[in-house]
């Protein structure tokens, strides 16, 4: 079964450093997403991406965050200057259409020290 | 204001003891209600989508039902391997993203 692939599985960084989280969505999917989950809390929407542009973003997704689909297969989330409160599990997700189910990757655990 | 509210937050069952989880939602013009299972340290795994009131879907020991304001996930004769967090999600008003509830953490002991 096709799956969403995320790398790395764990990332440790110092506060103020830039990090890039990488995802390879399922190949025929058109809609791409980033979600995050702080330990013990709910899965929170960050951003959706369609047709090479952001279609919606949450209030969490401020100027420190950016997304890119550089080559038609990868989908990346960049955090420009990490803060302690950015520590969370980040999930990439994709789907074929807006009413279809979301497929999630296994996540990148980001720890900001 | 939360669009999706799940209850209870946690549920402990004995193996074989059936029960139900609740998901209530406030979005109007529902365009699908989604149930996911999440194991610790993993991404959510899709279970069901329900689109209209009265619809039911089943998978092994799980059955999901939908009314105009809530959905239930019924677990019949659960086994320890059913232990997980069960998440409910609905599309936001624009329909561009899924919004998740906080989940119900189910523990089934043998």
pLDDT digits (tens, 9 = 90+) for A37-93: 999 899 999 999 999 999 999 999 999 999 999 888 899 999 999 999 999 999 999
Amino acid B1: pLDDT: 58
Min Cα separation A27/chain B (Å): 18
Q: Can you tell me which residue has the tokens 């989908």?
A: A75
- State chain B's maximal CA–CA distance in angstroms: 44
Regarding predicted confidence, which is higher, A15 or B93? A15
pLDDT at A105 over 80: yes
A30 exposure class (CB count in 10 Å sphere: 0-12, 13-18, 19+): middle
B26 exposure class (CB count in 10 Å sphere: 0-12, 13-18, 19+): exposed
Min Cα separation A47/chain B (Å): 8
Q: Which residue of B has its CA nearest to A95?
A: B97
Regarding predicted confidence, which is higher, B82 or B69? B82
Nearest to B7 by CA among B32, B19, B24: B24
The tokens for A108 are 């990148």
Taking only residues 20 to 39 of chain B, the set having a beta carbon closer than 8 angstroms to any beta carbon of chain A reads 31-32, 34, 36, 38
Which of B52, B84, B97 is the best substitution to test chain A (most A C-beta atoms within 10 A)?
A: B97
Q: Is A44 on the interface with B (CB under 8 A)?
A: yes
Nearest by CB: B100 against A43, A107, A109 = A43
Regarding predicted confidence, which is higher, A43 or B68? A43
Lowest mean pLDDT among A85-89, B24-28, B36-40, B82-86: B24-28
Nearest to A33 by CA among A8, A58, A11: A58
């Amino acid at each position: 079964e096709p799956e969403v692939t995320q790398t790395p599985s764990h990332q440790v960084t110092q506060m103020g450093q830039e990090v890039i989280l990488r995802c390879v969505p399922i190949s025929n999917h058109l809609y791409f997403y980033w979600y995050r989950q702080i330990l013990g809390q709910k899965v929170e929407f960050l951003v959706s991406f369609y047709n090479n542009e952001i279609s919606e973003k949450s209030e969490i997704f401020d100027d420190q965050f950016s997304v890119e689909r550089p080559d038609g297969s990868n989908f990346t989330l960049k955090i420009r200057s990490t803060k302690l409160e950015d520590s969370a599990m980040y999930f990439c997700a994709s789907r074929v259409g807006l009413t279809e189910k979301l497929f999630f990757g296994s996540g990148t655990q980001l720890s900001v020290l | 204001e939360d669009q999706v509210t799940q209850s209870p937050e946690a549920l402990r069952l004995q193996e074989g003891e059936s029960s139900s989880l609740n998901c209530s939602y406030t979005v109007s013009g529902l365009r699908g209600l989604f149930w996911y299972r999440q194991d610790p340290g993993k991404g959510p795994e899709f279970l069901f989508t329900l689109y209209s009131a009265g619809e039911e879907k089943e998978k092994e020991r799980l059955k999901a039902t939908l009314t105009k304001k809530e959905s239930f996930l019924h677990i019949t004769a659960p086994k320890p391997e059913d232990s997980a967090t069960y998440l409910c999600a609905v599309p936001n008003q624009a329909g561009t993203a899924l919004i998740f509830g906080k989940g119900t953490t189910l523990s089934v002991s043998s």
